[in-house]
Structure 1
């Protein structure tokens, strides 16, 4: 049966039921192991086209519901009505679908409705344009606003969602009076927030809310440091970075905070952090189990204390067997600014195999640890990014240091 005959015979609901059953059956019973490489890629592309077509049908059906007033008849908003009919619809998408559906019933949106119906413009793109018009209709010059909206509709089938968002942002800025923009910027900056909201399974949860300007600064700094970095398995072979994207971003944020005191030339002006840690000498030397306790009651393992001690201003309150204070701190063991500049010239960045993090984001690591008698000199120093500094400490890796290079032994 031809597709046109199927549509004519079964109608929209019948076709959708048939497609739903066929696709579910295909997912369960059609083997993928027999597909060629080209067919695998084609299957992914076709599945996405099916999803896009389903979104179009959702919008078209929602337009019909709006025309009949079905949501109002049940005392629901258009978005809530959609979610009662389609519980799997993303709550963030439902308002946009409802706005597009309502706009498609108005003659002034005929060009946009045609693009959505044909699938040339996504529902998300259309929702962005409709929201843009609604946000500015009361304050913008009508002719100017319409000209911008018409331009957005015209290019909506060739721009990505991110590019369309940039167009909308520029359009908003061009239509708001400068005084309004300044007031809005001040209000947005005042709305920045970073607060501790609780604890979950031993982790501390924070909420960070930023205006677009601040978010751009954070993202520009974090993105380069959050890229995957090579790891080593216990057999010594190079493997992919095992961290999740959100873990990489958290690690990148910590590196940025830790390097917040760096001088312009990349040499640390002051120690990255200052901790007062109380622990026994036996625990520090890993001769028996134990942990260090910070002034804020945080508990750190001996391995963590040893790693932080490479660069943090850690003041060890090392205790003897009866808790006598044996050593109340010494902080002269980090590499000097001159030594860090020399390490930068020699290493050029993280010395871990395959890593490309630049020197200003690296720690100066003692190849033979200071607690084991390692000296703070170039022959015992190596640059490591925060991620690989942890790996080296965890694996107990050693290296050969020459005047020109550092070679890590796996």
Structure 2
């Protein structure tokens, strides 16, 4: 049975010369004596400076927390009582927020790992002085000069040299612990699947873009880390995980307060973007038409009303015909990625990503807006939207196919999308002889498994015949291209 480690009572202020402890105790005493009840006496500039200084202090204390946890890990503190490092830390610092402790623990676990040395050093830079004094000596620390000495003529150790160099970096080289933890988890999570050289380069680029006050935000670091991890892993694994997320979508009804019903909805990235785009259009505030008064509903109430309105429109549509066009969902993707000439992903408006197969499926039945983007993603030139299948073509498909064309599926045409048998990104034409109706589920299967199909003459008219062998699309594409080449048809620019 584990025994709670004995926590020593608060001791007197440690001598100032003790590493870490002396400075932390002195700093804690100074903060507690800062007289916060008289903050009203500060000018506006001093209030701003106080906030900036508190942010710097938080960064420094987080970096020291990593240092302390790393040292405790090396000494195996708490192990004799049967505690791991996290439990030992919780016992000694019960007021520490859980996320702060978990992030610091993740970074501390990377100390000593040469592959993550740069990440750890960027965190430690937050606790080092960044105000060099005269003759290259940093205030309160040791900044190594070009001679490799510590200012007294003595040879400096390699550790002192690293610390001195970090001290001279300044705030642009400081990495907050929260961002560092994401980089550590990314690196260790894909280490067994990715090429070591590619992983090292990706980690270095992410580190460069995350450091300093102008680096990526924690949210953007998370997005970049997830997408980079997808690029470093095999496509099949990424698509499999997307299928797993899609398979775990759910809608659960339960009782709410005051006779209300609570619906809990779990969706993958694509489905969430579709719902957001549809609901946002109908959830805008609506002033009273007669009095002009502002809409009194809360944002949550407006979204709930919008969702109910969408369902009412759908169930009241005659003969399965929708009363309004499909939801506008914006996905940005480079043409080279769409054509599978390089790896990548589609980007949704909120910055999240969808896989290439998902983008190709959405692009089968969508408005395509050609655009030229700058190096930072800004739109330099934009063309007009082009719908690939026209309404008359879709009506033709409804009459010809009468249902989802995947073998064994009986979903009606109102539940299906138009699919390019040869994708338009591969020069496939947008005509009915290159089209088939597919429900969403089988549309996903066809793109994920890269299944090929063709329109053939049947006893009752044209019908779609599917080749259910995995990757059969490639053979159909080669056959299509060979036919175009023999006809002398040039590829589409």
Task: Give the TM bin, normalised by the shorter chain.
Answer: 0.5 to 0.7
> Superposition pairs for residues 55-94 of structure 1, below 5 Å?
55-94=62-101
Q: Distance in 2 between matches of 1:215 and 1:70?
A: 45
Query: What are the Cα deviations for residues 164-205 of structure 1, in whole angstroms up to 9, with x where unaligned?
Result: 112212212212222222211111011122323554576654
Unmatched runs of 5 consecutive residues or more in structure 1 = 1-5, 271-410
The 1:257/1:54 distance shift into structure 2, 3 A limit, reads farther
The 1:253/1:177 distance shift into structure 2, 3 A limit, reads farther
Shift of 1:124: 1.0
Query: Is 1:129 aligned with 2:183?
Result: yes
The answer as to whether partners of 1:195 and 1:208 remain within 8 angstroms in 2 is: yes
Q: Distance in 1 between matches of 2:230 and 2:217?
A: 20
Q: Which stretch shows the higher mean deviation, 46-55 or 196-205?
A: 196-205
Shift of 1:224: 7.8
Residue of structure 2 in register with 1:172 after alignment? 229
The answer as to whether partners of 1:223 and 1:249 remain within 8 angstroms in 2 is: no
Query: What are the Cα deviations for residues 16-63 of structure 1, in whole angstroms up to 9, with x where unaligned?
Result: 23333432343643x232222222222222222222222112111111
Q: Distance in 1 between matches of 2:263 and 2:323?
A: 28
Q: Distance in 1 between matches of 2:250 and 2:183?
A: 29
Residue of structure 2 in register with 1:100 after alignment? 107
Residue of structure 2 in register with 1:295 after alignment? none
Query: Is 1:209 aligned with 2:263?
Result: no
The 1:45/1:80 distance shift into structure 2, 3 A limit, reads same
Shift of 1:130: 0.9
The answer as to whether partners of 2:179 and 2:210 remain within 8 angstroms in 1 is: yes
Aligned residues: 252
Q: Distance in 2 between matches of 1:226 and 1:84?
A: 48
> Superposition pairs for residues 211-360 of structure 1, below 5 Å?
211-219=268-276, 248-249=299-300, 251-260=302-311, 269=323
The answer as to whether partners of 2:106 and 2:184 remain within 8 angstroms in 1 is: yes
> Superposition pairs for residues 397-408 of structure 1, below 5 Å?
none
The 1:73/1:196 distance shift into structure 2, 3 A limit, reads farther
The 1:185/1:43 distance shift into structure 2, 3 A limit, reads same
Q: Distance in 1 between matches of 2:301 and 2:89?
A: 36
Aligned-residue RMSD, C-alpha: 3.6
Q: Distance in 2 between matches of 1:222 and 1:87?
A: 43
The 1:71/1:260 distance shift into structure 2, 3 A limit, reads farther
Residue of structure 2 in register with 1:155 after alignment? 209
The 1:203/1:109 distance shift into structure 2, 3 A limit, reads same
Query: What are the Cα deviations for residues 312-361 of structure 1, in whole angstroms up to 9, with x where unaligned?
Result: xxxxxxxxxxxxxxxxxxxxxxxxxxxxxxxxxxxxxxxxxxxxxxxxxx
What's the secondary structure of 1:194's corresponding residue? strand
Query: What are the Cα deviations for residues 291-321 of structure 1, in whole angstroms up to 9, with x where unaligned?
Result: xxxxxxxxxxxxxxxxxxxxxxxxxxxxxxx
The 1:221/1:45 distance shift into structure 2, 3 A limit, reads farther
Query: What are the Cα deviations for residues 256-276 of structure 1, in whole angstroms up to 9, with x where unaligned?
Result: 44245559xxxx949xxxxxx
What's the secondary structure of 2:71's corresponding residue? helix
Q: Distance in 2 between matches of 1:154 and 1:96?
A: 19
Q: Distance in 1 between matches of 2:254 and 2:95?
A: 29
Q: Distance in 1 between matches of 2:261 and 2:82?
A: 42
Shift of 1:145: 1.7
Higher RCO (CA 8 Å, separation ≥ 6 residues): 1
Q: Distance in 2 between matches of 1:223 and 1:104?
A: 46
Query: What are the Cα deviations for residues 89-137 of structure 1, in whole angstroms up to 9, with x where unaligned?
Result: 3323433221210102323322111100112101111111111112111
**Bigger strand fraction:** 1
What's the secondary structure of 2:98's corresponding residue? coil
Q: Which stretch shows the higher mean deviation, 90-99 or 134-143?
A: 90-99
The answer as to whether partners of 1:104 and 1:112 remain within 8 angstroms in 2 is: no
The 1:249/1:122 distance shift into structure 2, 3 A limit, reads farther
Query: Is 1:13 aligned with 2:21?
Result: yes
